[in-house]
């Protein structure tokens, strides 16, 4: 019995070490080579490595050019096997057909299309691409209902991907 407990404790420590190592690697990558228009808010990672704020500026030549947004990434202990919780936060939430007014983002790689091969940078690039391809600023048709009835954690939502742009 003692040997089994020791083995379980050892394996748990290995998982925690791998989780921390992966996040530290991604943090360094984001600091040294951030996606265009994105900047890690350094203060957000001073106290915890599991919650990151990333400042974002709308890409040149798009409907969001010059606008400033903020993304919140929250990582569970199952990352990278489980996707991060990602949402827009702050006072300026982009008006976009796949972004709800509470900051939740309807993007398949944040849920069912997530893979451990993806990273914070790939999520950021997907969000840049999603915003950059927008033709008209508008909220999702079910925004009011969704915001009133949704869970605070967007990962608890069963998303319905009704087009190929999310």
Global confidence as pTM: 0.84
The strand pairing partners of 104, in sequence order, are 87
Among 106, 124, 134, 166, the active-site one is 106
CB 58 within 8 A of CB 66: yes
Question: From the first residue on, what is the mean pLDDT of each consecutive set of 10 residues in the chain (166 residues)?
Answer: 52 61 93 96 86 97 98 94 96 96 94 95 97 96 87 64 54
Query: Angle of helix 2-32 relative to helix 120-132, nearest 10 degrees?
Result: 40
- Spatial separation of the C-alpha atoms in residues 18 and 4, rounded to whole Å: 21
Domains identified in the chain and CATH numbers: 2-153 (3.10.110.10)
Instruction: Report the pLDDT value the prediction gives residue 149, as an integer from 0 to 100.
Output: 85
Clarify whether 150 is annotated catalytic: no
Q: Give 94's contacts (C-beta < 8 A, 6+ positions apart).
A: 58, 64, 67, 69, 88, 131, 137
Instruction: Report the pLDDT value the prediction gives residue 12, as an integer from 0 to 100.
Output: 47
**DSSP summary character for residue 99:** B
Instruction: Report the pLDDT value the prediction gives residue 18, as an integer from 0 to 100.
Output: 76
Instruction: Report the pLDDT value the prediction gives residue 114, as an integer from 0 to 100.
Output: 96
Instruction: Report the pLDDT value the prediction gives residue 80, as an integer from 0 to 100.
Output: 93
Coil vs helix vs strand at 139: coil
CA distances from 77 to 5, 83, 85, 107 (A): 20, 10, 12, 22
Instruction: Report the pLDDT value the prediction gives residue 69, as an integer from 0 to 100.
Output: 99
């Amino acid at each position: 019995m003692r040997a089994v407990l020791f083995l379980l404790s050892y394996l748990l420590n290995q998982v925690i070490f791998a989780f921390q190592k992966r996040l530290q690697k991604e943090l360094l990558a984001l600091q040294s080579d951030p996606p265009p228009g994105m900047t890690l808010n350094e203060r957000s990672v001073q106290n915890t490595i599991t919650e990151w704020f990333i400042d974002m500026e709308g890409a040149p030549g798009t409907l969001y050019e010059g606008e400033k947004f903020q993304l919140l990434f929250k990582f569970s202990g199952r990352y990278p096997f489980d996707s991060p919780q990602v949402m827009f936060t702050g006072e300026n939430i982009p008006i976009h057909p796949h972004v709800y007014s509470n900051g939740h983002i309807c993007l398949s790689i944040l849920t069912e299309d997530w893979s451990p091969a993806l990273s914070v940078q790939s999520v950021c690039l997907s969000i840049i691409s999603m915003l950059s391809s927008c033709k008209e600023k508008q909220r999702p048709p079910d925004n009011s209902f969704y915001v009133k009835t949704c869970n605070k954690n967007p990962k608890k939502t069963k998303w319905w991907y009704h087009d190929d742009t999310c």
